[in-house]
A and B are shown apart, each in its own frame.
Chain A
Amino acid sequence: MVPLSHYLMLSAVLFALGAAGFLIRRNVITIFMCIELMLNAVNLAFIAFARHLGRPDGQIFVFFVIVVAAAEAAVGLAIIIALFRNRESLSIDDLDSMKL
């Protein structure tokens, strides 16, 4: 059996990578992919625990997360397309009109 800690370590690393990418990358779509990465990292953790504790709760919660991630992706991409049509740019630094 693969020890639980391995899964969790992987989940943490993936999450950290996603977070780092979220902060560092400039392309909006890339940022979105990082968000998805973070979500999936969390999914991994849930599954690992479900397997470890022998309970289905984690897996069921993963379903919820996947559904939410999908909906969020759909909406988010729609927003990005709208923004692109306005700004002609996919750089997140160009989206700065909400400042004082």
Chain B
Amino acid sequence: MTMEVLLLFILLPPLAGAALNGLLGRRLSQAAVSGIACGAAGLSMIAALLAAWTFSHLVPEPSVYLHRYFTWIEAGSLRADFALYYDRLTLVMTVTVTVVAFLIHLYSRGYMGHEGGYYRFFCYLNLFLFMMLMLVTAANFPLLFVGWEGVGLCSYLLIGFYFRKRSAADAGKKAFVVTRTGDAGFTVGLALLFWTFGSLDFGEVFARLKTLPAGQMQGTLTAIAILMFMGAVGKSAQIPLFVWLPDAMEGPTPVSALIHAATMVTAGVYLVARSSLLFAHAPLALEIVGGIGCVTALFAATIALTQNDLKRLLAYSTISQLGYMFVGCGVGVFAAGIFHLMTHAFFKSLLFLAAGSVMHALRGELDMQKMGGLRTKLRTTYWTFLIATLAISGVPGLSGFFSKDEILLGAFEGPLGKPWIFWLATLTAGLTAFYMFRGVFLTFHGSSRVTPEVEHHVHESGRKMTTPLIVLAVFSVIVGYVNLPGTPWFVRYLEPVFGPAESLLTATAPAHAAEGHPGLLVMGASLLVVAVGILLAYWLYLKSPELPRQLAERFRLAYQVLINKYYVDEIYNWLIVRPICWGSDKVLWRAFDAGAIDHLMVEGTANATARVGNILRRMQSGYVRSYAAWVLLGAVLWLAYVLLLT
């Protein structure tokens, strides 16, 4: 199988699946619908794996496989083809996305079985997969943007899947509008990029950037990078555009797992990574990326400390982990950021799917205060959730530890690494361990606080749901082993992709004083905070469960601020939403649309015409003698004209 065919087999099955289910799904059985969807996802996954194998065995191994299928846009000097770009980064992304997506499709068979709109769900899910894959395989920015907007659309459709529920519909709108705000910056950045380089093709732009000496065009390149990062801020839920992600939990849990944990939200990280050379030429932009990532990571982690809703807890955790990925890119170790993206995809989606399993068992209950003691009744769910928690907390031996370690190492000794980033990131790791284990203890340990009606309904989920959980758990453990502290195979593997950017950064960045054994210091610090975090959670939620309430009383203000997520939504509502709504209502609608256009222009024209007509109609009196008079007058005037003026 040739690469060009394989690439099509990665992209097209989900699109076909979406089309089939969308058009015919109504009349098909649930088995047929899920068969089509899972089959499409599975086919895509197999193609991705085959493409990975084929690419790796190409002789001589190219750094990029590029294939133009057909011309898409040709307008003046702007040319964007439907072309696909496959390099090692694409390999990592396609394999991760398709494997996780396939497992989630399988899980959904069990989870969505009792819900209405079964075919609609799988149609949107397949469509999303197509768009995401298009995003990561695109060979130029316009095509990437198609995928970018496409995943945004599917996110809106899937968040608002239960569209009859007001909060779900609102959440879908919020997600779309907030990410759109970021996309505005992205689009301007693309325009500036085109204006600067005359092309939006990866090959051409990156070639130009490679030969560009360091320090040239910095202003323009920094502007482009920052604008593009705005898009990433929206899509990947960083400060200040993160507010849509917690609300997005209104969607079905598989959606939260796939879109808002493993794939769509990572698109921003992918964008920055793919444009690593551009960012390398604009260190200021990278510092902004790292700074925002770090602050967001810490900020979201503090909110997660007090959340009682299981899915919201995971949502804030996702925001925090995405911050980590941006830290990785921001300090110059792009491969570490992608490594964390990959490990996170597995353990985060596992966390969400397991949470879904808990929800399923508790008839939709999500408040952890009404859970407890579930580990005996939901064994598989418990153990897989625990494994994922260990991974995300950065406990050694599991994948999260290795990927977080790489990022922390980069923060410490990377080209743009800074001490404050390192310490805040390490602190955040401790907080992460704490709130995740708090989640485990509240949900699965201790005495049961489950309400009586739900009590006898509690049962472990069927195999359709637990099998993907187990598979993801296995991955959450082993995926990290591709990169060990002493043997960074994964980072080295991505060297052809990030090499140019990283060497540029090392050359231009101020030199670091190399200390003795930075690796050991980093590892030691992170292990310390993780251990403290877990022990603290154990103490507060298992040993002395009255303590949390007492602490909340003692530190009332801090607790209120945290549990109300720093009132960010309320602030945005006052500062942005209300003025815009007021402006739209009073100015744009009443004054302009109804007043100026409807009243003045439309009715006004009609009125003016009527009035003029009224005046003119007096000539049609039926009075013949007046007609005669006008004829005479006309004749005289004409005669005068002829005689006097010619």
Q: Which A residues fall within an 8 A CB radius of B? A: 19, 22-23, 92-93, 95-100
User: What would 9 A/B residue contacts be, using CB atoms closer than 8 Å?
Assistant: A22-B628, A23-B629, A92-B625, A95-B624, A96-B624, A97-B622, A98-B620, A99-B620, A99-B621
Interface centre among B617, B621, B625 (most CB of A within 10 A): B625
Cβ of B195 within 8 Å of any chain A Cβ, yes or no, is no
A96 and B625 contact, CB distance less than 8 A: no
Give the number of chain B interface residues (Cβ < 8 Å).
10
Secondary structure at the A interface, as helix, strand, loop or mixed, is: loop
B632 and A23 contact, CB distance less than 8 A: yes
Chain A proximity mask over B616-646: 1 for CB below 8 Å, otherwise 0: 0100111111001100100000000000000
How far is B627's CA from A96's CA once the two chains are assembled, in angstroms?
Answer: 11
Instruction: Give residues of chain B (90-111) contacting chain A, Cβ–Cβ below 8 Å.
Output: none
Supposing A19-B632, A23-B629, A23-B632 touch, asked if A92 and B622 sit within 8 A by C-beta, the answer is no
A96 and B623 contact, CB distance less than 8 A: yes
A93 and B625 contact, CB distance less than 8 A: yes
Residue numbers in A under 8 Å from B629 (CB-CB): 23
Supposing A19-B632, A23-B632 touch, asked if A100 and B620 sit within 8 A by C-beta, the answer is yes
Instruction: Tell me, rounded to whole Å, the shortest Cβ–Cβ distance linking B212 to chain A.
Output: 77
Residue numbers in B under 8 Å from A93 (CB-CB): 623-625
A23 and B623 contact, CB distance less than 8 A: no
How far is B624's CA from A97's CA once the two chains are assembled, in angstroms?
Answer: 10
Chain A proximity mask over B580-619: 1 for CB below 8 Å, otherwise 0: 0000000000000000000000000000000000000100
Nearest to B613 among chain A residues (CB) is: A100
How far is B617's CA from A19's CA once the two chains are assembled, in angstroms?
Answer: 26
The 3 A-B pairs at the shortest CB distance, nearest first, are namely A99-B622, A96-B622, A100-B617
Nearest to B627 among chain A residues (CB) is: A98
Nearest to A97 among chain B residues (CB) is: B622
Residue numbers in B under 8 Å from A98 (CB-CB): 620, 622
How far is B621's CA from A38's CA once the two chains are assembled, in angstroms?
Answer: 25
Nearest to A20 among chain B residues (CB) is: B632
Residue numbers in B under 8 Å from A23 (CB-CB): 625, 628-629, 632
Nearest to B623 among chain A residues (CB) is: A96
Nearest to A28 among chain B residues (CB) is: B624
Nearest to A26 among chain B residues (CB) is: B625
How far is B624's CA from A27's CA once the two chains are assembled, in angstroms?
Answer: 12
Interface centre among B624, B629, B632 (most CB of A within 10 A): B624
A92 and B624 contact, CB distance less than 8 A: yes
Residue numbers in A under 8 Å from B628 (CB-CB): 22-23
Instruction: Taking A96-B622, A99-B621 as given, write out 18 further A-B residue pairs in contact, using a Cβ cutoff of 8 Å, ordered by the A residue number.
Output: A19-B632, A22-B632, A23-B625, A23-B632, A92-B624, A92-B625, A93-B623, A93-B624, A93-B625, A95-B624, A96-B621, A96-B624, A97-B622, A98-B622, A99-B622, A99-B623, A100-B617, A100-B620
Nearest to A96 among chain B residues (CB) is: B622
Residue numbers in B under 8 Å from A92 (CB-CB): 624-625
How far is B622's CA from A22's CA once the two chains are assembled, in angstroms?
Answer: 16
How far is B623's CA from A96's CA once the two chains are assembled, in angstroms?
Answer: 6
Instruction: Tell me, rounded to whole Å, the shortest Cβ–Cβ distance linking A25 to chain B.
Output: 9
How far is B625's CA from A93's CA once the two chains are assembled, in angstroms?
Answer: 8
How far is B432's CA from A56's CA once the two chains are assembled, in angstroms?
Answer: 118
How far is B630's CA from A23's CA once the two chains are assembled, in angstroms?
Answer: 10
Instruction: Tell me, rounded to whole Å, the shortest Cβ–Cβ distance linking A32 to chain B.
Output: 12
Residue numbers in B under 8 Å from A97 (CB-CB): 622
Nearest to B636 among chain A residues (CB) is: A19
How far is B628's CA from A92's CA once the two chains are assembled, in angstroms?
Answer: 11
Residue numbers in B under 8 Å from A95 (CB-CB): 622, 624
Interface centre among A92, A93, A97, A99 (most CB of B within 10 A): A99
Residue numbers in B under 8 Å from A22 (CB-CB): 628, 632
Residue numbers in B under 8 Å from A96 (CB-CB): 621-624
How far is B617's CA from A98's CA once the two chains are assembled, in angstroms?
Answer: 12
How far is B622's CA from A23's CA once the two chains are assembled, in angstroms?
Answer: 15
Instruction: Tell me, rounded to whole Å, the shortest Cβ–Cβ distance linking B618 to chain A.
Output: 8
Residue numbers in B under 8 Å from A99 (CB-CB): 620-623
Instruction: Tell me, rounded to whole Å, the shortest Cβ–Cβ distance linking A23 to chain B.
Output: 6
How far is B620's CA from A96's CA once the two chains are assembled, in angstroms?
Answer: 10
Instruction: Tell me, rounded to whole Å, the shortest Cβ–Cβ distance linking B393 to chain A.
Output: 89
Instruction: Tell me, rounded to whole Å, the shortest Cβ–Cβ distance linking B625 to chain A.
Output: 6
Residue numbers in A under 8 Å from B622 (CB-CB): 95-99
Instruction: Give residues of chain B (397-456) contacting chain A, Cβ–Cβ below 8 Å.
Output: none
How far is B629's CA from A66's CA once the two chains are assembled, in angstroms?
Answer: 24
Instruction: Tell me, rounded to whole Å, the shortest Cβ–Cβ distance linking B624 to chain A.
Output: 5
Instruction: Tell me, rounded to whole Å, the shortest Cβ–Cβ distance linking B622 to chain A.
Output: 3
Instruction: Tell me, rounded to whole Å, the shortest Cβ–Cβ distance linking A59 to chain B.
Output: 23
How far is B629's CA from A10's CA once the two chains are assembled, in angstroms?
Answer: 23
Nearest to B635 among chain A residues (CB) is: A19
Instruction: Tell me, rounded to whole Å, the shortest Cβ–Cβ distance linking B614 to chain A.
Output: 10
Instruction: Tell me, rounded to whole Å, the shortest Cβ–Cβ distance linking A8 to chain B.
Output: 14
Nearest to B629 among chain A residues (CB) is: A23
Nearest to B619 among chain A residues (CB) is: A100
Instruction: Tell me, rounded to whole Å, the shortest Cβ–Cβ distance linking B538 to chain A.
Output: 95
How far is B428's CA from A82's CA once the two chains are assembled, in angstroms?
Answer: 106
How far is B626's CA from A98's CA once the two chains are assembled, in angstroms?
Answer: 13
Instruction: Tell me, rounded to whole Å, the shortest Cβ–Cβ distance linking A31 to chain B.
Output: 8
How far is B623's CA from A22's CA once the two chains are assembled, in angstroms?
Answer: 13
Instruction: Tell me, rounded to whole Å, the shortest Cβ–Cβ distance linking B632 to chain A.
Output: 6
Instruction: Tell me, rounded to whole Å, the shortest Cβ–Cβ distance linking A42 to chain B.
Output: 12
Residue numbers in A under 8 Å from B625 (CB-CB): 23, 92-93
How far is B635's CA from A22's CA once the two chains are assembled, in angstroms?
Answer: 14
Residue numbers in A under 8 Å from B623 (CB-CB): 93, 96, 99
Residue numbers in A under 8 Å from B624 (CB-CB): 92-93, 95-96
How far is B621's CA from A93's CA once the two chains are assembled, in angstroms?
Answer: 11
How far is B623's CA from A16's CA once the two chains are assembled, in angstroms?
Answer: 22
Instruction: Tell me, rounded to whole Å, the shortest Cβ–Cβ distance linking A27 to chain B.
Output: 12
Instruction: Tell me, rounded to whole Å, the shortest Cβ–Cβ distance linking B630 to chain A.
Output: 11
Instruction: Tell me, rounded to whole Å, the shortest Cβ–Cβ distance linking A5 to chain B.
Output: 16
Chain A proximity mask over B194-226: 1 for CB below 8 Å, otherwise 0: 000000000000000000000000000000000
Residue numbers in A under 8 Å from B617 (CB-CB): 100
Nearest to A25 among chain B residues (CB) is: B625
